[in-house]
Amino acid sequence: MDAIRKRLEQELRGATARLRQMGGADALDELRPTGDTGFADEVDIIQANEWREIGFATRELLVDRVNALSSALDRLESGDYGTCTECGETIAPARLRVMPEVETCVRCQDRIERYGRQLEEAVEVEAGVADED
């Protein structure tokens, strides 16, 4: 478990550093309205907007990664690491080697991706209403 902890902590430090690096002066430029940029033409404005959107998306992905790695470290501390958060089964070691922050087994992840959590929650709500009747 020490090797897993070290890897998670290393990846967390890397993702956090990259997120901090992205949050510098570029963030101020991205918040400036495009009309005040003084660009020569519409194509320049479109390109600047695309770069801004890519920056936002990249930051969002990094925040998600930091959260997932932090959650994995919490699960490691509590003794729940390697156990699927959906079904409680053991997550395959090969899956954890590839993605140490993963929370679900392959079967549950497939179900989540196919049907989505919203559908699952809707079914649970309907089942709860039916039980009350």
pLDDT tens-place values along the chain, 133 residues long = 788 999 999 999 999 999 888 875 454 455 444 455 555 688 888 888 899 899 899 999 999 999 999 999 999 999 999 999 999 999 999 999 999 999 999 999 998 888 876 666 676 777 766 555 5
**Final residue of a structural domain among 40, 58, 81:** 81
> Both 6 and 43 in a single domain?
yes
**Could you tell me which residues are beta bridge partners of residue 101?**
none
Q: Which token pair is 79?
A: 């003794």
- The whole-model pTM stands at 0.68
End position of a domain, from candidates 37, 61, 81: 81
Query: Where is the domain boundary, 63, 81, 99?
Result: 81
Q: Which of 5, 10, 11, 13 is nearest to 81 (CA)?
A: 5
Q: Which domain holds residue 13?
A: 1-81
**What is the distance between the alpha carbons of residues 108 and 116, in angstroms, rounded to a whole number?**
11
74-110: b (≥16 Cβ within 10 Å) or e: ebbeeeebbbbebeeeebeeebbeeebbbbbbeebbe
